[in-house]
Amino acid sequence: MAGRPASPTSTSSTLSCITVATAQESPDPMSASPPGSTPPTSLGDEASIASDATIKMDQLVEGPESPEESTPIKQQPEDIPMPGVAPEETPQSVGRRSSRRQSGKVATYNVQILAGTAIHTPTKYLQKHHGNVYRGGSQGAVAAAAGANNTEVQEERSAEPQGTRESIDPVEQQIANEIAQDAHRRKSSRVDLRKEAIKNKMAATGSALAKRGQEMFSNGKDRIQQALGGSSQDSEKNSTKAIAKSSTKRSRPSTATEPEDLEEQPQQEQEFAKPKRKKWEEQGLYVGQHRGFDPRLTEGQNRQKRRLQPKENKALPLPLFNGERLLSGNPQENHRDFKLPFDVFSPLPRKIKVDGWVKLSKNRFVGDASSVWKKSNHQDGSKCYCSPEDGCGVSCHNRSMYYECNDSNCNLTPEECGNRPFAELKKRAKGNRYDYGVEVVETKDRGFGVRAMRSFDPYQIIVEYAGEIITQGECERRMKNEYKKNKCYYLMSFDNKTIIDATRGTIARFVNHSCEPNCEMIKWTVGTEPRMALFAGARGIMTGEELTYDYNFDPFSSKNIQICKCGTASCRGVLGPKPKDQGKDRKNAATSFITGTKRKIQEVLGSRGSGSAPSSPNKRQKTTSFASVALTKVQNALAETAASRAKAEKDAIEAAAQKMSREERANRRHSTHSAPVTLTSQTTSKVVTNEISRSITHGSNKVITKVSRASFPATTKRTTVSFLHKEPKPGQLRPVNKVGGMSSALQRHASALKDKSRLLSRSKTKSKIASKPPSKTPSKEAGAPSKSRSKVTASLVKPAPSQDILITASSLRSSLSAKFRQSTLTFDPMPAESSATPVVNKPINTDKIEEKDDDDDDDDDDDIVEEADPEELEKEMETILLEDEEEDEIDVDVDDEGKDIDEDTAEDEDEEDRSSSEEEFEPTRYIKKITAKQVQAAADGVVKETIAGSVRAQRRAAAVVARTSLGSLVEEGIGGDE
Ligand SMILES: C[S@@+](CC[C@H](N)C(=O)[O-])C[C@H]1O[C@@H](n2cnc3c(N)ncnc32)[C@H](O)[C@@H]1O
């Protein structure tokens, strides 16, 4: 290939903004470049490929690979010559700053970009840059060709002084020269840049041809061919070669490599990617932690704090802290749980995207809200007089009033003042993600939540709850239309009857509820306007903790009640205030509600004077129909109540019977009877009578079995069985008034107790309002309680105060007799030497009860079985129960299904109710109480009956009323106190 003379003209490309000039025309007197030296263009640079030096392409020579040569982004006038630096002259020009002079001629100069390794160059820029190349068309191709020619010339020239140089890559040579030059240059930022670029370039030189480069090369080649349309094959070949080389040199080291260059890749990676290793990775998770370490302080502050503390012996390993923790009285108080470093467990490499969440960073008024806002008087009503020493700390008046300090209400400077949380928040928002400090996370079962990405001091502001400020009317409209199908609402009542709707709002809207929260949502006054923000609680917040606050949610209706899944020890079960479902509170609430309902209904029906009835006949008719519907529904609900109560009673009876049965069996296991005795129905009564007589004779025992549900929550029925523990003698038929005896009797005759229909019908008889009696055939014995005190012997199962089931002596006797008429008991009166016969306790409601009485130490006439006189029996039973004797109590708690429940649960009961239960042991008072309640129930009718029923049913009734008529009635303007 023959070298071509440099053109006297210069060319420039508007596309690539590359200026190419020949050295001959350089006006720079300082130019050390000899004529014909290469201009400061870069062959490999894509910009050069796009250069538009079509005509002068054969006059151009390849410039040195110095960064200065490869820039030009700005367009250079064609007539301005550019001094070039030929590769071969570089050694001679050391110290002459030729490049610097050249750079003076080039309009723009960015070594990093032109080196192709500017790792900090925005990708966008590079893409654009490459884009120029691709769009360069034939002009670019020509420029590339020109570059190629330059290379050719350069190679040729290089070959002249040193014949061996043809084999050396001119680019490498150039780089070496540049480095040599650099050694003599004075330090400057530009030089540093150059060095960096050179280093990168060296790395790039060693790297493989990038795919992109290859494409560019082939594209360029095609274009050159098109543009030249038949130029010398040789020159074309060379030029394309040069382009390929340059492309390779310009490609970034991180791009795809050819197989032969793969080996070099790790070395580069080593050079460029040296990830920092965390201390804890090598030294363990406890590294850096010492006693008194405060994670909220910086390293420096912690170090300073440590210096003030006495030196400690660190001979023991860190688990020492754990030991201390265990030994300390209240571990939670003195120590925090160990937390993994945030970067160990942080599972969020990127932000979570939430559909439908439009972010707002500050409040925005919508509709009439702003006029409502303006009308209200928002004056700054607080001032503080803190000194710089106080720093507007806890004693600051503004702080205590939740007013943010500012220049008008505080004398301190922002630096001195510690009560400018919203200003702090503003500053933080300008920082990075970690400064901001919160991120959205997805929880297991509560949708999205918010997590801390940093620690927060106690009471420190975390994030503002901002969104659209709307009026109540707008809120209702949105609820009815836009949010009709929403599961989550982000509405929070705000100032002056406005509402913040954070459906479009800050991240604070994702903060979940907890019954043991770590944050608080507080309204502050900032300047003259109120603002809501989430603040850390008294414990502060550790990095990674989920942020929660107590919604204190008002569900408006039972329909909106949401189950709480916060999982804390003191969880209330629902989002919002603790339901009033215990003790009197619940009863009172139900009573007041139902009383109010009743009154309204009666008013509507006009049953309480004409004054309260609706004036208009239409209205009256309408409301009356509402009322009648309501009444029907209430009655239905009450019927359901009665049914559920009946079931509860039955369960309670069964549970009590089973309990006693168990005890009986346990007692029997100690005895050794074997010979069965058959008891006829006639003898059974006698046995009972005898037992009673004996109890009177021996008498210090009493059996009182009662169930009082009044004092327990709806889901729990408590059966209190009081009795004296006394082991019966072997062979003895235990007396009724003794524990074992009574329970035995109860068990034997449990068929009577288990007879649902009788008990239910009895309770039904007392319940005047029950529309559907659960028992079809109320038994005679289970009729209304006797007026005579003497007839009441025990309240065996008392589901509710006003619905106590009274078992009179006669009813019990009749019931038992009826059963025993068909029952046969096997009874072993005497202890047998070989009592191998197993004790058989059949279910208490079987017709035939086989029993082996193990009492074998009977010293009395226990085996004598006589016919019982009903009257006598009744009297005796009464006497027993009226005796004031020492007693032992065993509380048996049963749940809805009649199963025993934990004692702890039962202990939660209201003390007052407990004591009232105790009082009920006194039969006389008990009877009176029942009578009074019955009278009251009769007077109050339906409503009172509802109160006495299960709370579940009460709720149902209340809900029905609320849903149907009451709401409508209230809407009708009837109103009331409920
Ligand atoms: C203001 S949003 C909180 C963000 C919500 N988790 C989300 O995904 O958008 C309130 C809703 O979150 C749910 N939620 C919040 N705390 C809860 C908790 N402790 N138990 C159950 N659900 C909860 C409820 O559905 C509630 O209506």
Question: pLDDT tens, 362-414?
Answer: 999 998 888 877 766 666 578 999 999 989 999 999 999 999 999 999 999 99
Q: Which residues of 713-751 are buried (b: 16+ CB within 10 A; e: fewer)?
A: bbebbbbbbbbbebebbbbbbbbbbbbbbbbbbbbbbbb
Which structure tokens are listed for 5?
């003379």
Higher-pLDDT residue of 639, 163: 639
**DSSP SS3 for 949:** coil
Q: Report the residue count for the chain.
A: 978
- Candidates 91, 78, 2, 81; CA nearest to 38 is 81
Q: Which atom of ligand 1 is nearest to the CA of 443?
A: 6
Top mean-pLDDT range of 110-119, 641-650, 667-676? 641-650
DSSP string, 99-124: HHHHHHHSS---HHHHHT--TTS-HH
CB atoms inside a 10 Å sphere around CB 162: 11
510 lines ligand 1 (CB under 6 A): yes
Confidence check: pLDDT of 736 > 50: no
562 lines ligand 1 (CB under 6 A): yes
Helical pair 170-184 and 189-206, crossing angle rounded to 10 deg: 150
Rounded to whole angstroms, the Cα distance separating 46 from 220 reads 10
199 lines ligand 1 (CB under 6 A): no
Q: Which residues of 917-929 are buried (b: 16+ CB within 10 A; e: fewer)?
A: beebbebeebbeb
Q: If residue 793 lies in a helix (H) or strand (E), which one and from where to where? A: strand 792-794
Encode pLDDT of 15-74 as tens digits: 333 333 333 333 333 333 333 333 333 333 333 333 333 333 333 333 333 333 333 333
- Candidates 950, 931, 949; CA nearest to 784 is 931
Q: How far is the CA of 577 from the centre of ligand 1 (A)?
A: 15
- As a dihedral over the C-alpha atoms of residue 503, residue 508, residue 513, residue 518, rounded to 10 degrees, the angle is -170
Q: How far is the CA of 541 from the centre of ligand 1 (A)?
A: 20
Residue type, 164: T
For position 559, what pLDDT does the model report? 65
The interface pTM score, or ipTM, of the predicted complex is 0.99
Q: If residue 865 lies in a helix (H) or strand (E), which one and from where to where? A: none
What lies within 8 Å, CB to CB, of 109 at 6+ separation is 67, 68, 71, 72, 103
For position 761, what pLDDT does the model report? 54
* Minimum CA distance residue for ligand 1 atom 17: 513
Which structure tokens are listed for 662?
């168990």
For position 518, what pLDDT does the model report? 95
Task: Report in angstroms the alpha-carbon separations of 57 from 20, 21, 102, 221, 236.
Answer: 10, 11, 20, 14, 11
For position 393, what pLDDT does the model report? 92
Q: Quick one: pLDDT band at residue 924, thresholds 50, 70, 90?
A: very low
Rounded to whole angstroms, the Cα distance separating 405 from 456 reads 20
Q: Choose which residue among 354, 504, 575 to substitute to test ligand 1 binding: the one with the highest number of ligand atoms within 8 A of its C-beta.
A: 575
For position 251, what pLDDT does the model report? 43
Encode pLDDT of 430-465 as tens digits: 877 777 889 999 998 999 999 998 889 899 999 999
Rounded to whole angstroms, the Cα distance separating 138 from 55 reads 12
Q: How far is the CA of 552 from the centre of ligand 1 (A)?
A: 13
Q: How far is the CA of 715 from the centre of ligand 1 (A)?
A: 27
Q: Choose which residue among 352, 562, 570 to substitute to test ligand 1 binding: the one with the highest number of ligand atoms within 8 A of its C-beta.
A: 562
Rounded to whole angstroms, the Cα distance separating 41 from 249 reads 14
Q: Is the pTM of this model over 0.80?
A: no
Q: Quick one: pLDDT band at residue 294, thresholds 50, 70, 90?
A: confident
**DSSP SS3 for 720:** strand
> Span 499-522, mean pLDDT?
94
Q: Which atom of ligand 1 is nearest to the CA of 551?
A: 16
Q: How far is the CA of 570 from the centre of ligand 1 (A)?
A: 18
* Minimum CA distance residue for ligand 1 atom 22: 446
564 lines ligand 1 (CB under 6 A): yes
Confidence check: pLDDT of 897 > 50: no
Q: How far is the CA of 569 from the centre of ligand 1 (A)?
A: 18
* Minimum CA distance residue for ligand 1 atom 11: 488
For position 576, what pLDDT does the model report? 72
- Candidates 16, 9, 74, 63; CA nearest to 40 is 63
Confidence check: pLDDT of 358 > 80: yes
What spatial distance separates the first Cα and last Cα of the chain, rounded to whole Å?
106
447 lines ligand 1 (CB under 6 A): yes
| Residue entry with tokens 């929403």 | 486
492 lines ligand 1 (CB under 6 A): no
For position 486, what pLDDT does the model report? 83
The DSSP output letter for 633 is H
Confidence check: pLDDT of 253 > 90: no
Q: 730 with 737: CB under 8 angstroms? A: no
> Span 819-829, mean pLDDT?
36
Which structure tokens are listed for 593?
């509600």
Rounded to whole angstroms, the Cα distance separating 610 from 627 reads 16
**DSSP SS3 for 451:** strand
What lies within 8 Å, CB to CB, of 298 at 6+ separation is none
Least confident range from 201-210, 915-924, 959-968: namely: 915-924
Top mean-pLDDT range of 64-78, 328-342, 717-731? 328-342
Q: How far is the CA of 549 from the centre of ligand 1 (A)?
A: 11
446 lines ligand 1 (CB under 6 A): yes
Q: How far is the CA of 813 from the centre of ligand 1 (A)?
A: 59
Q: If residue 814 lies in a helix (H) or strand (E), which one and from where to where? A: helix 809-820
For position 223, what pLDDT does the model report? 76
Q: How far is the CA of 575 from the centre of ligand 1 (A)?
A: 9
CB-based burial of residue 40 (10 Å sphere; 0-12 exposed, 13-18 middle, 19+ buried)? Answer: buried
> Span 964-971, mean pLDDT?
44
For position 929, what pLDDT does the model report? 43
For position 225, what pLDDT does the model report? 75
For position 402, what pLDDT does the model report? 94
Higher-pLDDT residue of 553, 752: 553
Confidence check: pLDDT of 821 > 70: no
Task: Report in angstroms the alpha-carbon separations of 282 from 134, 279, 286, 322, 341.
Answer: 49, 6, 11, 22, 14
Mean pLDDT estimate for the chain: 58
Q: How far is the CA of 560 from the centre of ligand 1 (A)?
A: 13
Rounded to whole angstroms, the Cα distance separating 77 from 75 reads 7
450 lines ligand 1 (CB under 6 A): no
Q: Quick one: pLDDT band at residue 824, thresholds 50, 70, 90?
A: very low
For position 199, what pLDDT does the model report? 65
DSSP string, 410-448: --S-TTT----HHHHHHHHHTS-HHHH-EEEEE-SSSSE
Q: Which residues of 572-601 are buried (b: 16+ CB within 10 A; e: fewer)?
A: eebbbeebebbbeebbebbbebbbbbbbbb
For position 129, what pLDDT does the model report? 43
Rounded to whole angstroms, the Cα distance separating 685 from 134 reads 113
> Span 813-833, mean pLDDT?
41
Least confident range from 549-558, 716-725, 968-977: namely: 716-725
Q: Quick one: pLDDT band at residue 196, thresholds 50, 70, 90?
A: low
Q: Quick one: pLDDT band at residue 509, thresholds 50, 70, 90?
A: very high
352 lines ligand 1 (CB under 6 A): no
Confidence check: pLDDT of 151 > 80: no
749 lines ligand 1 (CB under 6 A): no
* Minimum CA distance residue for ligand 1 atom 4: 510
For position 281, what pLDDT does the model report? 74
Confidence check: pLDDT of 593 > 90: no
> Span 529-557, mean pLDDT?
87
549 lines ligand 1 (CB under 6 A): no
Confidence check: pLDDT of 181 > 50: yes
Q: How far is the CA of 571 from the centre of ligand 1 (A)?
A: 15
512 lines ligand 1 (CB under 6 A): yes
Q: Quick one: pLDDT band at residue 941, thresholds 50, 70, 90?
A: low
Task: Report in angstroms the alpha-carbon separations of 806 from 239, 689, 746, 816.
Answer: 115, 20, 15, 15
Q: How far is the CA of 351 from the centre of ligand 1 (A)?
A: 20
Q: Quick one: pLDDT band at residue 146, thresholds 50, 70, 90?
A: very low
Q: How far is the CA of 713 from the centre of ligand 1 (A)?
A: 28
Q: 861 with 737: CB under 8 angstroms? A: no
Q: How far is the CA of 443 from the centre of ligand 1 (A)?
A: 10
The DSSP output letter for 956 is H
Q: If residue 648 lies in a helix (H) or strand (E), which one and from where to where? A: helix 617-668
448 lines ligand 1 (CB under 6 A): yes
Q: For a pLDDT cut of 90, what percent of the chain falls above it?
A: 13
Q: How far is the CA of 462 from the centre of ligand 1 (A)?
A: 19
- Candidates 293, 280, 299; CA nearest to 336 is 293
